[in-house]
Structure 1
């Protein structure tokens, strides 16, 4: 392809997104594109699937507090799940205010506790909005343990697992026979949305209450509590993970049916349905969850689980408009949970609402930073919300702010690697994964690929080399450097083959397609580099077909450079505008308002 056609395409893209081309396309030198912008300003208040994207989010899917160092994890299973489990451990929380216990009437609850419930908090009907949301769970625990139990429950619904576990442990310390406090702590070891659990740890927690299911049931104060405990015997019992997850749906459905006024039964029933979707987002299943939650929402619109799981139910471009109500409310209801502040952006990203995406994730990052400051730590640079913030900045045209977080994450990760060269858990390597993830976003958007010197490649798994190769390929594509593009494309295919070869059969349906699509892109760009235009289109269409056949994932695109978008751009370079227009229309259905797709669509229509 010619330099003139390439630059014309880039100029067209810049004009459509409202940015000058000098921001991105000046010097081909990657080092010249690194920004030294200042700290981001606080968010402006004037602006109103089942897994993280598989390909480049996988090693970057660390949570809001990815530099936290105090959580230990059992390492087992595939490389991706090892990374995922470790990353999940860092979910950060700021809880500036206590959760007030607001319990509904439970005829089976002891009278003393019912009186305590009435005295210590407003009812859900009062409309009270607390820092972690309004929770209602009648139980037979001691009155003195209620505040910590209800706090733990609210944190659990916002996926603040470590903080929830600590709250439940405090409730146990106050009332050692408080059965539901052990139930709650055990649930912090189950990650429904990621189809993973630490079964041994969960059973160890339950065994603290009593060594057998029968003995635990004897300590439960009501039939309802016995049912909740029995559901955990199913969830953490014998059988395959999928069989147990499906049986847990039945157990929670039975509790929900028997106690229809129990909002937590409804919420956990909806969440259980997510947990059985091991092969990706099944729309019918997610709509079943949505139906459960919609029924209880009018009376429980400040319940953190109802809001949180509604957002997940509608977390795809087709259904996201239905999730806007919950998205606009969740962060206001539970501002004490950093994850709640981020969670709204799942709907905003699905709808291409970039200012709102930035605001939500910047609020979440700032909450994490406040927690770090309280603990005497420095600023956080790497994490789940941080990655989505970078994506929002890039799509908003605020590249300098995005670059600040990219550079900050690289620096933090490399410093951690140097400080703890043998660390392969939450800190160094996971932060490095987050840095690769956000750097790849920038490569897809701007052609920027800058990996720090001193990368300990020999100590890193093949996956990191794969992401590096993909980023180099995108940078060469943007720079119109055929030789480097072909070289990087060969590496993408070689390292991708190795990654797929190590992937388990269980992980392949959800984790494999992103790798396969990137490899098909590499084959296409390699053909393009040698002037084989039709062969290139064939391979790029193969990449598109792989993405089309994969259930929609939430958040930034499954592949950093969506295959529809790449195919459309190549068609434009070949002056095949009609075909390109069709491809870009499909791209915008999958990634609404994404800048490169908007720009390509505009060029194709001229």
Structure 2
């Protein structure tokens, strides 16, 4: 079914995955064993685990004494950044290696490093086990400094190790990983593994860090032209820079490559074929499609996922549980990325939106995050669609209470009460944040619907308290190397949305700040830019609102749905908000210095019954400052125009407290 060659360039039926460097040791003399090994290695480099494992088996079947093939078959049970590390299966492979298996000294160093990684005596101490593997594989690079593959794998191991560390230790591992990968690329600029792992290293919300990955993002798809994951990887950089159209284009190619791989293996009708790459790209296509106005395409991706899960369920597919993870995530995004976009404007959800109680899955790194996010989405869906009263006999209240009862079990069920391991601690905190978000929305809707003024005030107080709890958790979240790339929904985004739904001008500045903070945790998205525009409009700042609506328009792809988008009419009206002579003068000042945002942050103490970011309902200082900034914004026009991808805040502070005239503008990276 798969044809291979014996050269350093491996092709499978014209399937291009890159090149195995000549410096990599292969002692077997069997032509087929070498060819299958190199094919497996290239699949492993691009996380093609479903194909790497069988290739290594083929290799050792052709040469039963080829020890390196056994070792890399075992390594295929380590899925760095994807949460799989199967010690038992890997050690069983080592046990099956015949006693007369051979390896040269160079190969033996690799085998020793892989054995160290799967050291069962350290099964409960992942950091120690990874540290030992790093120490042993360092011997490869010390003994053979020209081995670019050894350097690439050392960089990967250190990157994964950093997810188990904290503080200076984690930063040291990341810095050393960066150095290792740069050294690998200095030897072989087209090394597929080094390019791949460097993209993961630079996957950061810090735009300056993410921008370092642009060269690899350009080259890696060229190097591994038919590797689905290789074509997807530029998304991890472009997403951080808010280049969503580039993301959509990359994942469109990645999805085609995944389908082509399944066809190559004769598995085009198998819903589980190439699952970890195919559905990964499908989910990202849905997400980025909603960001760039290609909603019909985004919904088509969700339809494909729904059809796949229905077909797999009918077949009782053995991978149905894993497929369910992708379905739950994409189903949640239909609510959070599509249904909620217009909620601040309409106060209602589409009646056709299906709000359910998602089926609970076994907790774990991915399942816990997915289960929590999906439950949050459907809980919020029930809150805003059915608006259940506090009456315990109310059928909608009964359903929501049942959902919440299971929802609050997720963090505790996951079992992390101390931050001894940063990766699961991050997920544990995210899950706690989700519960607080649901409670904030629930009390908010009850407050809106209450007819008793005292009860209304009490319910709003509780809503803002839960919102403060959720946002405070988000503010201290520290993602690590294997944390999920996209949060289901930022707590600050939900808080900003609730503030807009009050319709109160006094809340506009806080809503704007909430969306600004959401960008810092999830990057600039359609919902946050629309939120900023709506907040500025609510504040009575038409030109600042128009500037944000222009940001929204800039996100739209040339193939966007345009007039079919639910916010298109609002967008056109928003773009025309700045029309009067006075507005036009303001617009000229705003657009010069306003390329992305003008934000004023208040560090004042929160009121006991007020939403976060506010100081006092009695104080007019903050609204006066906002008005002052609107009138004085022309002073900020001296600030430099900032590139679209860097999303800075412009912070303006008073220099003269007496006449409030002089403003100093300084740009800071978000």
TM-score w.r.t. structure 1 length? 0.71
Equivalent of 2:238, from 340, 348, 366? 348
The answer to whether the aligner puts 1:415 opposite 2:307 as a matched pair is no
- Following superposition, the deviation at residue 267 of structure 1 comes to 0.7
CA contact (8 A) 2:152 2:197 kept: yes
- Following superposition, the deviation at residue 502 of structure 1 comes to 2.3
The answer to whether the aligner puts 1:385 opposite 2:268 as a matched pair is no
The answer to whether the aligner puts 1:269 opposite 2:154 as a matched pair is yes
Change (3 A) 1:429 1:233: closer
Equivalent of 2:472, from 545, 554, 569? 545
The answer to whether the aligner puts 1:589 opposite 2:505 as a matched pair is no
The answer to whether the aligner puts 1:394 opposite 2:285 as a matched pair is no
In 2, distance between residues paired with 1:454 and 1:445? 17
1:78 maps to which residue?
none
- Give the 3-state SS of the residue equivalent to 2:255 in structure 1: helix
* Unpaired stretches in structure 2, ≥5 consecutive residues: 340-349, 390-394, 448-458, 542-670
The answer to whether the aligner puts 1:224 opposite 2:106 as a matched pair is yes
CA contact (8 A) 2:30 2:63 kept: no
1:142 maps to which residue?
29
Measured against aligned partners, the alpha-carbon deviations of 1:390-420 in whole angstroms (never above 9, x if no partner) come to: 1111111111111122122223212322332
Change (3 A) 1:207 1:556: closer
1:528 maps to which residue?
444
In 1, distance between residues paired with 2:64 and 2:128? 32
The answer to whether the aligner puts 1:200 opposite 2:88 as a matched pair is yes
- Following superposition, the deviation at residue 235 of structure 1 comes to 1.1
2:325 maps to which residue?
433
- Following superposition, the deviation at residue 514 of structure 1 comes to 2.2
- Following superposition, the deviation at residue 337 of structure 1 comes to 1.4
CA contact (8 A) 2:496 2:511 kept: yes
In 1, distance between residues paired with 2:263 and 2:108? 42
The answer to whether the aligner puts 1:328 opposite 2:218 as a matched pair is yes
The answer to whether the aligner puts 1:189 opposite 2:77 as a matched pair is yes
CA contact (8 A) 1:149 1:171 kept: yes
CA contact (8 A) 1:466 1:495 kept: no
The answer to whether the aligner puts 1:162 opposite 2:50 as a matched pair is yes
Equivalent of 1:239, from 122, 146, 153? 122
Change (3 A) 1:248 1:386: same
Equivalent of 1:445, from 329, 337, 347? 337
Change (3 A) 1:257 1:509: same
In 2, distance between residues paired with 1:353 and 1:546? 28
- Following superposition, the deviation at residue 262 of structure 1 comes to 0.6
Change (3 A) 1:556 1:351: farther
Equivalent of 1:564, from 483, 486, 492? 492
In 2, distance between residues paired with 1:373 and 1:130? 12
Change (3 A) 1:434 1:452: farther
In 1, distance between residues paired with 2:484 and 2:426? 16
Equivalent of 2:406, from 495, 498, 503? 495
Which structure's CA Rg is the greater one? Answer: 2
The CA RMSD measured in Å over matched residues stands at: 3.4
- Following superposition, the deviation at residue 234 of structure 1 comes to 1.1
1:471 maps to which residue?
377
In 1, distance between residues paired with 2:377 and 2:494? 14
In 2, distance between residues paired with 1:98 and 1:350? 39
In 2, distance between residues paired with 1:494 and 1:304? 47
In 2, distance between residues paired with 1:549 and 1:510? 10
More displaced 10-residue stretch of structure 1: 347-356 or 451-460: 451-460
More displaced 10-residue stretch of structure 1: 299-308 or 550-559: 550-559
CA contact (8 A) 1:273 1:289 kept: yes
- Give the 3-state SS of the residue equivalent to 2:412 in structure 1: helix
- Following superposition, the deviation at residue 451 of structure 1 comes to 8.2
Change (3 A) 1:379 1:368: farther
- Give the 3-state SS of the residue equivalent to 1:133 in structure 2: strand
In 2, distance between residues paired with 1:456 and 1:572? 29
Change (3 A) 1:195 1:465: closer
1:57 maps to which residue?
none
Change (3 A) 1:364 1:595: same
In 2, distance between residues paired with 1:460 and 1:317? 30
The answer to whether the aligner puts 1:180 opposite 2:68 as a matched pair is yes
Equivalent of 1:313, from 201, 215, 238? 201
In 1, distance between residues paired with 2:477 and 2:79? 22
In 1, distance between residues paired with 2:399 and 2:486? 20
The answer to whether the aligner puts 1:252 opposite 2:133 as a matched pair is no
Q: Which has the higher contact order (CA 8 A, sep 6+)?
A: 1
Change (3 A) 1:186 1:450: farther
The answer to whether the aligner puts 1:579 opposite 2:510 as a matched pair is yes
In 1, distance between residues paired with 2:492 and 2:532? 11
What are the equivalent positions in structure 2 for 1:278-317 lying under 5 Å apart? 278-279=163-164, 282=170, 284-317=172-205
CA contact (8 A) 2:77 2:85 kept: yes
In 1, distance between residues paired with 2:486 and 2:321? 21
In 2, distance between residues paired with 1:519 and 1:418? 33
Aligned length: 479
Measured against aligned partners, the alpha-carbon deviations of 1:487-515 in whole angstroms (never above 9, x if no partner) come to: 67644531122223322347851431222
